[in-house]
Amino acid sequence: MRKAIFITGGASGIGRAIARKFANEGWFVGLGDVDASGMAETERLLGSSDCFSLRFDVRDRAEWDGALDAFSKAAGDRIDVVANNAGVPLGGSLDENSVAEIERCLDINLKGALFGAQASLPHLRKSAPGSCLLTTSSAAGIYGTAGASVYSATKFGVRAMTEALDGEWAEFGIKVRSLMPSFIDTPLLEHAPNAGSNEAIRTRVTDAGLEITPVEEVAEAAWRAVHGNELHTKVGKTARRLAFASRWMPGRVRKMVRANTHSL
């Protein structure tokens, strides 16, 4: 039977790249996002026979159930992978971030991921063993990023959720994995880090001398994560170097972060 993957944040960027990769491998793809026009473009790229899309908000627990139930029905009563990918950026020092910005980042990046995991469990149990919950964390979940405390907190939360559920769901035969990309070439880089800034994230990244990784590398990493045994898959040179340095040279990483207190 044809395998099926449901992807949140599928209207653009990492979600669209994952959708294209899995569709090219013969999977049936489901897209969930608040951006209906973006999903329509992703669906056009995939071909209508390979895709199902539904507009919903990951912050709404009940909408998660409705979205997964609808996709399961369209996919022949099975979901093999849920890519818990929807997320928003937020940069700037903590005192620059408004209450609304903080709550939105927490609600989408962390609560949305938790709600997605909770709603996914019965579907992934049905297709286990070998089914997978794949959640997009970040290099900011390896070591806190100066100038992005709220965003880092959400991505550390996703990392912790992944590790906890890897233990909780082992008895069901469900894989739980995370992606930890560094700066990826997606439309999010064109956004300002917060409402008080008019400078794009891309500008700050390039000015800091950091590399921007092609989004296709994340899609390939997602494929490896679903089919491999690594709990957290690092994507991009910055993520891999940070993971190495935070483990073996934590003092050096701390000095670097303190020297770049407003990197985003």
Q: How many Å apart are CA 15 and CA 187, to the nearest integer? A: 12
Answer yes or no: 143 catalytic.
Answer: no
First to last CA, the chain: 46
- Residues sharing a CB contact under 8 Å with residue 48, sequence separation 6 or more, in sequence order: none
Q: How many Å apart are CA 132 and CA 240, to the nearest integer? A: 23
Q: Where are the extended beta strands (E) located within the chain? A: 4-8, 28-33, 51-55, 81-84, 132-136, 175-181, 232-235
Token pair for residue 53? 């899309």
Cα within 13 Å of Cα(20), Cβ side: 18
How does DSSP assign 56-113, residue by residue? --TT-HHHHHHHHHHHHHHTTS---EEEE-------S-GGGS-HHHHHHHIIIIIIHH
Query: Tokens 């409705």 appear where?
Result: 66
Angle between the N-to-C axes of helices 250-259 and 237-248, in degrees from 0 to 180, rounded to the nearest 10: 120
For the four alpha carbons of 164, 169, 170 and 174, in that order, the dihedral sign comes to: negative
Q: How many Å apart are CA 187 and CA 226, to the nearest integer? A: 25
Q: How many Å apart are CA 105 and CA 250, to the nearest integer? A: 27
- Spot the catalytic one: 6, 151, 156, 223: 151
Active-site residues: which are they?
151
